[in-house]
Structure 1
Amino acid sequence: METSSSDTPSHLLLAFLHSQSQTALTRLYQRPSACLSIFRLLGPLERQIVMNLLWLESVIPAATMAAWVPQDSRQAYEHSLSILSRLHLLPRSAAKLALNSTLKTGLRHAIVGGGSSGSFGVPANSDESHPPPSVETLDAYALERWETILHYMVSSGTGRSPTKPSQAVLVLLQRSGLMASVHGGALQITSLGFQFLLHPPHAQLWELLLQYLRMVEERQMDLVEVLSFLFMLSTMELGREYSVEHLSATQTAMLEDLRDYGIIWQRKTSPTRFCPTRLATTLTSSSPPLPTAAGVTSSSQAQGFIILETNYRLYAYTDNPLQTAVLNLFVSLKSRFPNLVVGAITRESVKKALANGITADQIISYLTTHAHPQMRKNKPLLPVTVQDQIRLWELEKNRMKSQEGYLYTAFASQADYEYVLHYAKQLGVVLWESSPRRCFFGTLEGHPNIRGFIERRTAGHA
């Protein structure tokens, strides 16, 4: 049995599923589409263990399975068993191994067929007057919706007015910490949001969906039904319309949300049917979730498009508005041409980025990730002087910190000063002190206690 070391589950969703109860997961495993989708999300070793047990009609001694594993791979094997156990796919007993019977039945149906649960969706009847949209139309729709979200994030706080996503999307971005409300109530991208932009589209999509899953309880939605629908979408056929009639109430309510993310396409005149986009059909696969010919997964981004010189000048060979908007977060843009953007990394542009919560390491990481192939011949890849200066500008920003509090001064004697200072230090509220000047600075929270202590001492001497 081949093994590979892994400290965490191979997919973000698996960690979320680990926190769910056995009852909820067993309900989920009643859907063959969910069984197949979770199998896809497992790592190679976990999938191999599941397949070894799937067609066995009886339990197998754990020692028999362990005998197939080389000695130097035992740790990875034990870790995989732990992942499967936390998903309640295997019993927690170490003596014998057997797949969860509900999952075994569902996965068998998914592989060889059988059953009539509609777990993989029910195709809608053909309508010659309204044929299903082409794959190209679906790709363009998904790309437009997804880039609307990303473009709004990177354009926040710049004074521009990009197309605004729906209110539900804005709430999701805020609750996930990718954007935060600033003075005036406007949303602005956070440091976490900029890090989010560095991730591939597939990871970005699941980060938003995980936040959506965390919010289902307060929205009084059934988590199992929500997960089942996402897994159902991941097994559907791109370019085919499906019927809404067989969906549960929770799943029907999800249609509007998923339209906002570009995950499904729905004709306004035919609300009884919907069509999954590529964002949906690739949810549990390794295929790219967006068309590779345009947008955030364009060839310019895949190959790298940024050239950075030692004089801080930057050339970006791109015509993508989203990539340009990301650069505008930390670059002072000077000129724009049909397929080229010219700018410079300046103290002001970096300070603006730092004020928005973007870190120096994130800026350097973005420049490194998207460096032009010509740049990759350099060692080091980015000019050291530029990297050092970006970090120095960050240190300059962090050199001084402001904090509200109270200054205590004009003590009658050195003894009074030291007595009150000792009390304040016991409370742990002293931020600064100067013995020659007989004064110290305390926190805002500690002021009531210090004031009361001084008043009691003064009254005692009266």
Structure 2
Amino acid sequence: MNDAELPIETFLKAQPRTVLNRLYEKPASCLAVFRLLPMVARQIILNMLFLDGPLTVEDCLKFFQQRQTTEHEIPLERMEGLSIVKLRADKLHLNDIFRKGIVGALNGSGKEHDKVGIEFLDSYARTQWETILYFMVGSEQSTPPRNTVLFLLQRAGLMQRDMNDARHLNITSAGFQFLLQDVNSQLWALLLQYLRMAEERNMDLVEVLAFFFTVGGLEFGRAYETRGFSLTQMQTLEELSDYGLVYRTSKSAKYFFPTRLAATLTSTATSALSTLDDQEEQGYLILETNYRVYAYTSNLLRIAILNLFVTLKERLPNLVVGQLTRESVKSALNKGITANQVITYLTHHAHPQMHKNDPLLPATVSDQIRLWEREKNRVATCAGNLYTEFTSIHDYEQVRDYAKSLGVLQWESEAKRMLFVTSEGHESVREFIQRRRV
């Protein structure tokens, strides 16, 4: 046995040609066998891949002339033993099945009918990603993402339970700020939260992170097999499809396709997947002193975001007309969106025509938005429970400190030995008191 030959190669050489041909129907198998061969053999195969006919031994020697390679040094026997090439009349014939398989492996593609179009992948990635954004802004046109995504949005502080309906989620101030970021920043904000949650979900943090970078380094639009993936990698792969990073024809599919969005995992550049037209990037909002808003856009996501703090009046092709009202702004404030965020959004997306103004936005409108916020902040309501009649200051301090540690303490009065806890924290605090009594 050749010193460079591995036991697996010896085993393969002992297999019938029919067995090897079945093996070579799998691109990943072709690539694995290709890597078993010495560099000289690999170069010969790569040069033969795109030839219309066989390669003569003489031409092969000419190719390696500068390396002073002799006929005896070319590993023909090893390639023949693996049924990769066949030597006939001083000509090397490449196994057609192996040729097709290795080309598929090097291109990252599988069978012909497994391929999907670039336009389809772009549409899929856009749909998956915008499903999340549409849900965040409360668009009625969206279907909710999977529960794992909803849980992550809450843990990231981008959405929270509605105080009046626990089944409903509302966007938070952090969530609105999230919408102002580019796709790359948005994606990593979610994936970093995914990483923070990995260990509590019994997932290997390093393995998940390494898998992110692996997917980010794959070529867009080509198929990759899932063979050999660990349970953690398969779980991560399935969940990455929820964000539009990869596409799988079904949950049981043994291959996947990275989308254009996956490239943002290993690139600092903004993703080519954009939810905006170029003209909208330049600004599309006009705000008048009478609080009237003109939005030159047909983008449904932009309209949904605008609807968070603007009362929409009319919708025409490429134009939406609305009004900033006390009710519409207060509705946004009640969701946790701040006055400064509303003003920043209007400023950031101001139409080029607005840049002629000084200041950019009408001062009366900006001031009124801030006044509405101050008006709201005069009185704050919070559902919860009031705790009184503590037998000692020590007991009071123990319960108060515990409520503080949970982040559920809303108000306290040490002099009166009273404290107020949110409804969400009531059960935990009550159980703490009962445990102390026991």
Which of the five TM-score ranges fits, normalised by the shorter chain?
0.5 to 0.7
> Quick one: which of 161, 167, 182 aligns to 2:147?
167
Q: Which residue of 1 aligns with 2:332?
A: 353
Q: Which residue of 2 aligns with 1:224?
A: 206
Q: Deviations over 1:170-199 (max 9, x none)?
A: 011011110001232211111111111111
Q: Which residue of 2 aligns with 1:329?
A: 308
> Quick one: which of 154, 165, 172 aligns to 1:190?
172
Give the 3 Å change call, closer, same or farther, for CA 269–204 of structure 1 in structure 2: closer
The CA distance in 2 between the partners of 1:298 and 1:324, in whole Å, is 13
Give the 3 Å change call, closer, same or farther, for CA 133–325 of structure 1 in structure 2: same
Give the 3 Å change call, closer, same or farther, for CA 405–135 of structure 1 in structure 2: closer
Q: Which residue of 1 aligns with 2:124?
A: 141
Of all paired residues, the percent bearing the same amino acid is 53
The answer to whether the 8 Å contact 2:245/2:259 transfers is yes
The CA distance in 1 between the partners of 2:380 and 2:221, in whole Å, is 56
* Secondary structure, counterpart of 2:144 in structure 1: coil
Aligned positions, number:
293
The CA distance in 2 between the partners of 1:237 and 1:268, in whole Å, is 20
The answer to whether the 8 Å contact 1:122/1:243 transfers is no
The CA distance in 1 between the partners of 2:215 and 2:412, in whole Å, is 53
Q: Deviations over 1:11-50 (max 9, x none)?
A: xxxxxxxxxxxxxxxxxxxxxxxxxxxxxxxxxxxxxxxx
The answer to whether the 8 Å contact 2:109/2:222 transfers is no
Counterpart residue type for residue 169 of structure 2: L
Give the TM-score normalised by structure 2: 0.62
Counterpart residue type for residue 255 of structure 1: L
**Which protein, 1 or 2, shows the higher relative CO under an 8 Å CA cutoff with sep ≥ 6?**
1
User: Counterparts in 2 of 1:47-446, with a 5 A limit?
Assistant: 126-130=110-114, 132-155=115-138, 160=140, 162-182=142-162, 183-185=164-166, 186-268=168-250, 271-292=253-274, 296-401=275-380, 446=414
The CA distance in 1 between the partners of 2:230 and 2:381, in whole Å, is 54
The CA distance in 1 between the partners of 2:132 and 2:228, in whole Å, is 30
The CA distance in 1 between the partners of 2:246 and 2:109, in whole Å, is 18
The CA distance in 2 between the partners of 1:405 and 1:144, in whole Å, is 43
The CA distance in 2 between the partners of 1:211 and 1:220, in whole Å, is 15
Counterpart residue type for residue 255 of structure 2: R
Give the TM-score normalised by structure 1: 0.59
How far apart are residue 268 of structure 1 and its match? 1.7
The CA distance in 1 between the partners of 2:306 and 2:340, in whole Å, is 15
* Secondary structure, counterpart of 2:113 in structure 1: coil
Give the 3 Å change call, closer, same or farther, for CA 243–397 of structure 1 in structure 2: same
The CA distance in 2 between the partners of 1:368 and 1:331, in whole Å, is 15
Cα RMSD for the two superposed structures = 2.8
The answer to whether the 8 Å contact 1:191/1:357 transfers is yes
The CA distance in 2 between the partners of 1:343 and 1:228, in whole Å, is 47
The CA distance in 1 between the partners of 2:149 and 2:381, in whole Å, is 34
